[in-house]
Structure 1
Amino acid sequence: MTKLLFAVTAADHWTLNDGTEHPTGFWAEELVESHRTFVDAGWDVVVATPGGRAPVVDEGSLAVDANGGDEVKVADQKKYLASIESILQNPASLEDQRASDFDAIFVPGGHGPMEDLAVSTSFGALVTDFLSTGKIVSAVCHAPAALLPATTSDGGWVFDGYQLTGFTDEEETQAGLAAKAPWLLESRLKELGARFESSDPWSPHVVVDRTLYTGQNPASTKPLADRVVQALS
């Protein structure tokens, strides 16, 4: 059975450039659509967070307006989150996980990973282990921020030169937080050497380079998860 490490942020806020804390967490669609896809594929999915702390949903991600006005979609997300509540309330600790125990790692987004995973040296080391052993590393929307601390023994970034995608600076601007952001994901990834690719704002877009699988935004979640399942079928 394929075993997947489902790495979720435990942050409940994102510290803005003026020091204020913007409430956040994981983005509902990104967790729901990916987790459901992997479970439906029959995989063993291990949910883990920094310190084994229960993750929280970004309440904004459950707003009808944030889901294209689709009330049915929001109701489905809430129903699915309720169905896995016991799993989310009792996650494993990311610090205890080893790449050798899994076939792939997936990180759903939301602004939460910008706060904790993006600066976690232990998580960076874990991601590096996945990559160096030829296993799939996958992240969607803001979650490619979790790739930032993955470095080589000489301090270089392990994804330097990789093609990838993530939440764009344009999308962050349209979402209204770019001016308040301490840093922007697309810009930071490019600064480190990523060959960043994007499509139109809010449209599904998936990029695969070797064993790195990334999605641009919430709408990219299901297509991305499907690509990961296809790769390991």
Structure 2
Amino acid sequence: MTKRVLIVLTSHGDLGGVRGTGYYVPEAAHPWEVFRRAGFEVDVASVRGGEPPVDGFDDRDGVQVAFRAEYQVTRAVRDVGGGYDAVFYAGGHGTMWDFPGDPDVARLGREVYERGGVVAAVCHGPSALVGLTLSDGSHLVAGKRVAAFTNSEEKAAGVAEVVPFLLADALVERGARHEPAADFQPQVVVDGRLATGQNPASAIPLAERVVALLS
């Protein structure tokens, strides 16, 4: 059976009034390419649907160009059903505003995890895990090892005082064990069927770990 993966993108395009933001294109496009090469069926959705706002787009990168062309218009998460083997929450600062409180962002992850699938998230994508509880009310990340964009990286990006919360701290508050690497260095942490990556440099190795978990 062909494995099915859903990539979820933010629909939030305002970085606290400082500048525009959105989903970080290479954190979606490069994993998409990894999944396609593995023979997986890939769908893409965003929180509100339609054309998602973008950040970090490099028009010299053919994979990013192809991804944007393919998914210029996306389905809304509320319209996405189940049956996926993995959900991959792509990053970008926009996720910090609309991932944590969206019930369908959480629903998709809960359904995948509780049917034995893989939940993956990279950079700011783990903001989806902040509000992701299982059917018994427990936080998915409770007691699990995770990677996510660090406080130090947020400070280095100059927006630690702009984002609505610090992601690493929020995950720890929900019972996760945050395992940071040096700023902007690849870091992937796999704990059972939860796979997380720290930053943009972690996107491809994270996707490769998801492929291994599904294989």
- Aligning the two structures, in what range does the TM-score lie when normalised by the shorter sequence? over 0.9
Answer whether contact 1:46 1:92 (CA < 8 A) is retained: no
1:114 and 2:96 equivalent?
yes
Paired position in structure 2 for 1:204 = 186
Displacement, 1:116? Answer: 1.0
Question: Across the two proteins, how many residue pairs are aligned to each other?
Answer: 214
Q: Say if 2:201 is the partner of 1:219.
A: yes
Q: Determine which structure has the larger helix proportion and give its number.
A: 1
Q: Which residue is equivalent to 1:85?
A: 68
Letter in 1 for 2:196: T
Q: Deviations over 1:184-219 (max 9, x none)?
A: 001111111111111111110100001000000000
- Equivalence for 1:69: none
Q: Any conservation in 1 of the 2:21–2:94 contact (CA below 8 Å)?
A: yes
Which of 144, 148, 151 matches 1:166?
Answer: 148
Aligned residues of 2:100 and 2:128 also touching (Cα < 8 A): yes
Q: 1:188 aligns with which of 166, 170, 191?
A: 170
- 8 Å contact from structure 2 (residues 112, 119) kept in 1: yes
Q: Is the 8 A contact 2:30 2:63 kept in 1?
A: no
Quote the offset at 1:177 in angstroms.
Answer: 0.6
1:133-183 deviation line (CA, Å, top 9, x unaligned): 221000000000011111245643222111111000000011111122321
Question: Which letter maps to 1:97?
Answer: V
Give the Cα–Cα distance (whole angstroms) in 2 for the partners of residues 114 and 96 of structure 1.
21
**Is residue 27 from structure 1 mapped to residue 14 from structure 2 by the alignment?**
no
- Which position in structure 2 is the counterpart of 1:67? none
**Residues of 2 paired with 1:176 and 1:4: CA distance?**
33
Local SS of the residue matching 1:143: coil
CA separation of 1:45 and 1:153: change in aligned 2, threshold 3 A? closer
Contact persistence 2:110–2:134 (CA under 8 A): yes
Distance 1:21 1:133 in 2: 40
Aligned: 1:51 with 2:59: no
Q: CA RMSD, aligned part only?
A: 1.7
In the alignment, what sits opposite 1:98?
81
Taking every aligned residue pair, what percent have the same amino acid on both sides? 36
Partners of 1:111 and 1:142 within 8 A in 2: yes
On the 8 A contact 2:133/2:139 being kept in 1, the answer is yes
Residue 154 of structure 2 aligns with an amino acid whose one-letter code is: E
Is the Cα contact below 8 Å between 2:193 and 2:213 reproduced in 1?
A: no
Deviates more, 1:113-122 or 1:168-177: 113-122
Deviations 1:106-134 (A, max 9, x none): 11101111111121022212211211122
Structure 2, unaligned runs of 5 or more: none
Instruction: State which structure, 1 or 2, has the greater radius of gyration over its C-alpha atoms.
Output: 1
Q: Equivalents in 1 of 2:13, 2:25: separation in Å?
A: 13
- Relative to structure 1, the CA distance from residue 85 to residue 75 in structure 2 (aligned partners, 3 Å threshold; closer, same or farther) is closer
Change in CA separation of 1:204 and 1:154 when aligned onto 2, cut-off 3 Å: same
Structure 1 position 24, deviation (Å): 0.4
Shift of 1:76: 3.8
How far the C-alpha of 1:38 sits from its partner, in A, is: 0.9
